[in-house]
Structure 1
């Protein structure tokens, strides 16, 4: 059986897969930011009723593979009468996965802010919402930025697991084109270049931010 060329239709199909990879990454990261902030604030709360569920959430989603989480969401929700589309199942799983990791990253950043600043704010009569919004969180965000960017890179690559539940993102699109053209090295070389062009600038940005923080701390 002969091979066929990788032409414009195949490249367009790969670009469509790339678009869905970016969309899934965006959903997972934005959702992870929103829920991760809740998890982080619950983890540093003085109330056990908030700390323990947040800790359990982090332990579960950091201690299990993303692949298993995708399976549980995609095949588990229909057992409760919720029939979800593959893209929605992937977005939900990525959001839950990201919220656990980002929540723990930000929890560490919040606790890394010098305690004296919180004590000074309490002495000035600042309430907890103002303390977190105006003093703690801006500094914690700056401290956590390199690790947050690093996780974004991992999340982007993790979207390739969406193919397991039948969703066509970049990796799955590459597999389909490879099966049609019988040129796996060429096709997955192109797929790899796409991933590299997305991840490498983010990695450079994260490294640059880390160096800036290290210089500022001296």
Structure 2
């Protein structure tokens, strides 16, 4: 068994850096597309609703691991040479957009209909109604679920190792193979995930409880 010293811990922290960066890119990119999907899902255009419903069904109905494989190897089949980083960033963005789009769709539909009708009565056009009336309220409603999905996304980054991307879990596997101390190494890796995810989960639960009290 080899020792776990500064070099090994530094390597784990390097993996953590890529885990956080991948989660941030997936969440922000997925959020941008997710807003568009949520708006199309709640639009009056039937074609837009049908297309976005199918998009969400595909990404919610298939494993994230399979989505990573399809994006990584599918892009290569198109003759485009991309590294693992770009492939997993695309996959996580698409994955997050489907889930966030559905979360925010539900939040938009949860806004009391009277709010929209009042905005129409005031002569506000669609963009103003959504930007100034509906979306701010929907964002508040969706906050617990959105934070919960962020936690799942952070943990889901561990699957990126399957296509050769070195994030925290893959870094832990490499260190474990070098030191022959899997229990200690993955104990450290698990602790790092816990330190990141538990405060977010606690924040989401706290927001949900405050919202429940305010609704009484």
TM-score grouping bracket, smaller chain normalisation: over 0.9
Matches within 5 A, 1:72-151: 72-151=70-149
CA RMSD of superposed structures (Å): 0.5
Unpaired stretches in structure 2, ≥5 consecutive residues: none
Deviation at 1:82, TM superposition (A): 1.2
Identify the match of residue 54 of structure 1 among 36, 52, 55.
Answer: 52
1:7 lines up with 2:14 in the alignment = no
What is aligned with 1:197? 195
CA distance in 2, matches of 1:198, 1:82: 35
Identify the match of residue 28 of structure 2 among 24, 27, 30.
Answer: 30
CA distance in 2, matches of 1:123, 1:4: 72
What is aligned with 1:162? 160
TM-score, normalisation: structure 2: 0.99
CA distance in 2, matches of 1:82, 1:26: 25
Deviation at 1:121, TM superposition (A): 1.0
Runs of 4+ in 1 over 6 A off after TM superposition: none
Deviation at 1:123, TM superposition (A): 1.1
SS in 2 for 1:143: helix
Deviation at 1:189, TM superposition (A): 0.5
CA shift digits 1:145-196 (9 cap, x unpaired): 0000000000000000010000100000000000000000100000001000
CA shift digits 1:78-101 (9 cap, x unpaired): 111111110111010000000000
Unpaired stretches in structure 1, ≥5 consecutive residues: none
CA shift digits 1:63-87 (9 cap, x unpaired): 0000000000000111111111101
Aligned residue pair count:
216
Deviation at 1:49, TM superposition (A): 2.1
TM-score, normalisation: structure 1: 0.98
CA shift digits 1:99-121 (9 cap, x unpaired): 00000000000000000111111
SS in 2 for 1:156: helix
